[in-house]
Structure 1
Amino acid sequence: MKLSEINLNELDFNEIGIWPWPAKAIVLVIVLAAVVAAGWYFDWQDQQQRLEQVQGEEDQLRSQFEIRQRRAAALDDYKAQLEEMEDSFGAMLRQLPSRVEVAGLLVDISQTGLASGLEFELFRPQSTQEREFYAEMPIDIEVRGRYHEFGRFVSGVANLPRIVTLHDVTITDGGGDDGELTMQATARTYWYLEEGE
């Protein structure tokens, strides 16, 4: 029997077992399509969204894993670098004078200025400022001299065996015809605070 020969008005749903094969196949396809559509709507759609979400999480976790894997692979290098930094830090701490050596360091700074040919107008140590593990003492300095003498002074201060830094450096015309200049600066010297301090 052909599909065109079937009269749909003669088909009774109570007698579906005696329908011709083409009609049964059409109903079977419709039922199968309805089951697939219902499955998609009620179950598979959520699973698709969950799959996309999990794939996104997988990509994120994979990138985190790769970063951590690189860090773990470089752990020995990091340990060596940390050890080198600790040694360097220890060497820098040894450059910081003790509280007892600060007076001698102040003398070294003033002698460096005098040896450079500068004339001190002001050399005034300020009050000590304590930080986390060190203390610093700012020293207001005002000196008169020529430009190259300032250069020798700054170089001499930089070459002192202990750490001294110069801040807020201002050079102005000394006002005379002899080419003298005036330099105002703040020198800072540092020392390590012991446990009890």
Structure 2
Amino acid sequence: MNQDALKKSLDELKNLNPKTPGAWPWAVKIIAFVAMFAVVVAAGVWFVWMDQWEELSRIKQEEATLKETFLVKKKQAINLDLIKKQLTETQESFGALLKQLPSKSEMDALLTDINQAGLGRGLQFELFKPGVETVKGAFAELPITIKVSGNYDDIGKFASDIALLPRIVTLNDISINISGGALVMDATAKTFRYLDTEEAAAQKKKDKPAAGAKK
């Protein structure tokens, strides 16, 4: 474009009448339309879309927070189910263990079973002495001092028979020596029983002052 044409275009722009845009040249109309469109878009972005974008950002942030909260709750729910399952298993195990404990009235029969287990293996009881019960929580522990003599196999089978009794009996402080050509085993058998209702109530009353003294 030469200088004359440029000057002519500038003169046309200067002489444009804003009141009669329909009479403007097509090139000017297109430029004006593009400029107006840009202004409208910019105004829309500033006055309308900006608020919508802020709202969209807020919603996305809330969505992320909700997802995180959901994952935490889901993990807690899974852990809660696991804890409930473990609690149920513990209660079942405790119930099974409780069934293995004799009552106070069944202790004499259990002592007889221990004695018969040794005699059934051909062992000689040199000592069978129940000790003093010790209350431990909801249970009472009864130690029994025993001394038996016999051969190695019979003593081993006696120990296995004790472990297989329907009630809980443990052999502790085992000592084996040779005397007169035979093996002699000294041990403390411990068995347990659950406290009856009256004993449990008395034990609770006894424990309360002790708990208060600790505070």
Question: Which of the five TM-score ranges fits, normalised by the shorter chain?
Answer: 0.5 to 0.7
Superposition deviation, residue 81 in structure 1: 1.3
The within-5 A match list for 1:140-159 is 140-159=145-164
1:28 alignment counterpart: none
Residue number among 158, 167, 187 corresponding to 2:189 in the alignment: 187
Matched letter for residue 127 of structure 1: V
Superposition deviation, residue 75 in structure 1: 1.2
> How high is the TM-score relative to the length of structure 2?
0.57
Unaligned runs of 5+ in 2: 1-70, 200-215
**Partner-residue secondary structure (3-state), 2:197:** coil
The within-5 A match list for 1:31-180 is 70-174=75-179, 176=180, 178=181, 180=182
Superposition deviation, residue 73 in structure 1: 2.5
1:62 alignment counterpart: none
Q: Distance in 1 between matches of 2:129 and 2:176?
A: 18
Q: Distance in 1 between matches of 2:125 and 2:143?
A: 16
| RMSD of aligned residue pairs (Cα, Å) | 1.9
Unaligned runs of 5+ in 1: 1-65
Q: Distance in 2 between matches of 1:113 and 1:144?
A: 10
> How high is the TM-score relative to the length of structure 1?
0.62
**Partner-residue secondary structure (3-state), 1:93:** helix
CA deviations over 1:128-184 (Å, ceiling 9, x no partner):
11110000110000000111111110011111111111100111112x2x4x11100
**Partner-residue secondary structure (3-state), 1:196:** helix
Higher percent of residues as helix: 2
Identity in percent: 48
Superposition deviation, residue 194 in structure 1: 2.3
Larger radius of gyration: 2
**Partner-residue secondary structure (3-state), 1:161:** coil
The verdict on how the C-alpha distance between 1:173 and 1:68 changes in structure 2, with shifts beyond 3 A counting, is farther
Q: Distance in 1 between matches of 2:119 and 2:76?
A: 53
2:22 alignment counterpart: none
How many pairs does the alignment contain? 130
The verdict on how the C-alpha distance between 1:173 and 1:78 changes in structure 2, with shifts beyond 3 A counting, is same
Superposition deviation, residue 103 in structure 1: 0.3
Show structure 1 runs of 4+ deviating over 3 A: 66-72
Matched letter for residue 187 of structure 1: A
Matched letter for residue 195 of structure 1: T
